[in-house]
Amino acid sequence: MIIEPLLPVAGALPGPLLAELTALYASDPTFQQISGDFPDPHDIRSEQVAASLAEELANPDTEVLLARTQGRLVGVVIILARHPDPADPDPWIGLLMVDARQHRSGYGRQLAGLVEERFRAAGRDGIRLAVLDNNPKALAFWTALGYEAIDHRRDRQLGRPCAVLRKPLKPVE
């Protein structure tokens, strides 16, 4: 698996890439229904995906990474170098999504590991994320990777209840 940053061209996503991303987002209507990020989880449109990613990329501390295997887009991860709360010292995973047709293939675990390694190499000593209370499958995934619940609060964007998880990143030896 390789990960590469999403780089819009002249402020827009190239059509074929946007089509790939839309297919990825649309592949898991169950997750989309849980998240509530799109009005109709069974009808996700390219304009909606483009707008969502543009909003993420408007934050200079946010990076969108694309995960590819054999040239095929299998996942996307949105990372924040800094949380908007200045008291929070850790980087965050804002979203990790794997194409639903590829679930249970190890891509999610591999992608999470690559993100952790990236922050570890940058000298960060921990990483955080939030899991919506109505997503026990995601909570099981992240806790299996060694993340532990450290707080419970509402998310900043939509006020949804969620658990905040953290994983310490041991230094490279």
Give residues with Cβ within 8 angstroms of 138, minimum separation 6: 131, 132
List per-residue pLDDT tens for the chain, 173 residues long.
999 999 888 778 889 999 999 999 999 999 999 998 898 999 999 999 999 999 999 999 999 999 999 999 999 999 999 888 888 899 999 999 999 999 989 999 999 999 999 999 999 999 999 999 999 999 999 999 999 999 999 988 888 999 999 999 987 76
d(CA 82, CA 54): 18
CATH number assigned to the domain covering 2-168: 3.40.630.30
In this structure, are residues 61 and 45 in contact, taking their beta carbons and an 8 Å threshold? no
Judge if pTM exceeds 0.75.
yes
**Cβ neighbours of residue 49 under 8 Å, at least 6 residues apart?**
18, 21, 22, 25
Q: Which secondary structure element, helix H or strand E, spans residue 37, and what is its range?
A: none
Helix (H) or strand (E) holding 86: none
- Is the distance from CB of 127 to CB of 167 less than 8 angstroms? yes
Beta bridge partners of 165: 129, 149
Q: Distance between CA 48 and CA 38 in Å, rounded? A: 7
The residue with tokens 């002249």 is 10
Tell which residue, 73, 78, 79, 77, has the closest CA to residue 99.
73
